[in-house]
Structure 1
C-alpha cells in the first residue's frame, strides 16, 4: 500500500460526498427542501469518514512523521491543513446544529444550513486539491523508503482494527445512501 495514494483514494470518496452536498445546497438555494435525513447521514459520513478516519491518518501519522523529519520547515503548511480540518469540524457542527430548525421549516435554520454547507464545501475542496497536488507530492519526495515503510506499517495497524473496518464499511454504506437519497429527491422535485 502506498500511503499517499491511499489518502488520495480516500479523497475520492470524500469528494463524492461533497458532490451530493453541492446538489443539496443547489436545491436549498432554489427554495427546495432536501430531506433532513440526507443531512443527518451526511454529517455522520463526514464526521466519521473524513474526520475520524482520514484526518486522523493525516494529522497523527503523516504530519507527525513529516514534522520530525523536516524539523519545522513545513510546520506552517501542516498548520494550515490542520486549521482547515478544524474549520471543517466547526462547519459540520454548524450544519448539525441547524437541522432541528430545518426540520420545522425555519428559514433562519435553512440559512444557517446553507452557510455551513458553503463553508464546508469550499474549504474541503480547496484542502483536498492542495493535498493531492502540492502537499502529497512534496511528502512523497521528502520521505525515504524507510519512512514510507514505517508509515505503511502504522497505516496497516490503524486499518486492521475491527472498529476501523466496521467504520469504513458503515461509511461506504452511508455514501451510497447519500447518493440514493439525493437521486430520489431530485426525481421527486
Structure 2
C-alpha cells in the first residue's frame, strides 16, 4: 500500500474513534455518563495511534520531504497542520486530566471534559479534511515515484518493529472496545 493510502486508512480509523467521542459527548450533553473506561481507552487510542504512530509519519517523514521539495512555499500550511497536532495533544492531556474528577461525578471535571471533547473533535475533523482533500492530493502530484518509494521504505521501517506492530494491533483493539463501551451505554 502506498504511503498516502496508508495515511488515509489511518485517518479512517481515527475518524471512527472521533465518531465514538461524538457519541460520548452527546451522551454527556444529555447528562448520561459514559464509563471512565471508555475515556481512558479513547485517550490511549488517540495518544498512541493518532499521535505517536500517525502524526509521527506526517510530521517527521512526509512534511519534511514536502517542505524540502517545495522550498518554503508550503511552510505556513505545514506549520498550521503541526500546530493543530499540538493543540490536539493538549486537548487529549486535558481530557485525561479531567477523568479523576469525572469518575467522582464532579461537575467541573465533566464540563472540562465536554469542553475539550468539543475542541478536539472539531479541530481533528477539520484537520483530517484538509489533509485528505488538499494536502495529500498535493503530495500525490508533487512527489516523484522515487520519493514515494523512499517514503514507503521509511514508513515500512518505522512499522517493522515489534513494538509498532503490537501498538497498531493494540490500538485497533482499543477502537473496537470504544465501540462496545459507547454502544453499551446508548442501549441503556
Shorter-chain TM-score range: over 0.9
Cα deviation, residue 101, structure 1: 0.3
Distance 2:2 2:169 in 1: 21
Q: Number of paired residues?
A: 188
Cα deviation, residue 69, structure 1: 1.1
Cα RMSD (Å): 0.5
List gaps (5 residues or longer) in structure 2.
none
1:68-95 C-alpha deviation (Å, 9 max, x unpaired):
1111111100000000000000000010
State how 1:1-189 maps to structure 2 within 5 Å.
1-188=1-188
Off by >4 Å, runs of 4+ in structure 1: none
Distance 1:78 1:161 in 2: 28
Distance 1:145 1:99 in 2: 46
1:141 match: secondary structure:
helix
Cα deviation, residue 159, structure 1: 1.0
Distance 1:79 1:161 in 2: 29
Distance 2:110 2:17 in 1: 20
1:79-116 C-alpha deviation (Å, 9 max, x unpaired):
00000000000000010010000000100000000001
Distance 1:127 1:5 in 2: 17
Question: What TM-score do the two structures reach when normalised by structure 1?
Answer: 0.98
Distance 2:177 2:34 in 1: 14
